[in-house]
Copies of this chain bind each other. A is one copy, B any other.
Amino acid sequence: MTKAKNTEERILEAAIKIFSEKGFSAATTSEIAKEAKVAEGTIFRYFPKKKELLHGIVLKAIDLFGQNVVVNSLEKTIEANKRKDTAELLKAIIMDRVSLFEEYFPYIKVIFYEIQFHDDVRELFFDKIAKELIKIGKQIFNEGKKRGEFRDINPFIAARSFVGMAFMMIMQRQFFSSETVYVNIEDEIEVLIDIFLNGIRKC
């Protein structure tokens, strides 16, 4: 039982590694088996089809997301909102999640890229992650709006814009870090938040 759980975990971790390196289609089950140090047949005991490995990854990501992002950030939102202004709150939330984001980047990468080819992945992602993210975003945004800090901007577009800014930063850092000038990631995030909040703030 303990051994079994361990094996399944090892297979999933290997799958995440290989999928994020090569993409779902280019990854082979034999390579995943080698990485997980199990026989190829063992994979199919736990995941009867290759695609179920992908589902396993998405489900694990949803789980991790639920643990680390939703609960935690909502708590902080409510707690910190009593003392600080929205800018500082947002900054605190994002900064707190930078390392988490980098740690789970392989998951993000796999989900983000395979979303376009697999409808089931897309639906899972949207229902379990995107909706929650949108909810949190709107919540924070509406809080600031109520206090008169923000202008009257569609909160969905605002939240999506910020995610896009952050996403592009991560992408550039991942793929073109050597070609572009290096800036400390915390400094960069401060700039992002600065641009974004100024963008939606009354002034």
Contacts and interface: CB of A to CB of B under 8 A. Distances in A.
Contact of A166 (B113, B164, B166, B172): B164
Contacts of A109: 116
Nearest to A170: B164
A160 B169 contact: yes
Contacts of A164: 161, 164-169
Interface string A124-135: 001000100000
A183 B151 CA distance: 19
A157 B192 contact: yes
- Chain A interface size, as a band, is 35 or more
Interface string A150-181: 01011011101101111111001011100111
A122 interface: yes
Contact of A192 (B161, B166, B169, B180): B161
A197 B199 CA distance: 7
A138 to B, nearest CB: 12
A26 B28 CA distance: 12
Contacts of A113: 23, 113, 116
A198 interface: yes
A199 B195 contact: yes
Select the residue from A153, A157, A183 with max chain B CB neighbours within 10 A. A157
Nearest to A116: B175
A200 B198 CA distance: 7
Interface string A29-40: 000000000000
Given A157-B191, A167-B168, A176 B22 contact: no
Contacts of A1: none
A196 B196 CA distance: 7
A116 B108 CA distance: 13
Contacts of A176: 122, 126, 130
A192 B195 CA distance: 12
A163 B167 CA distance: 10
A52 interface: no
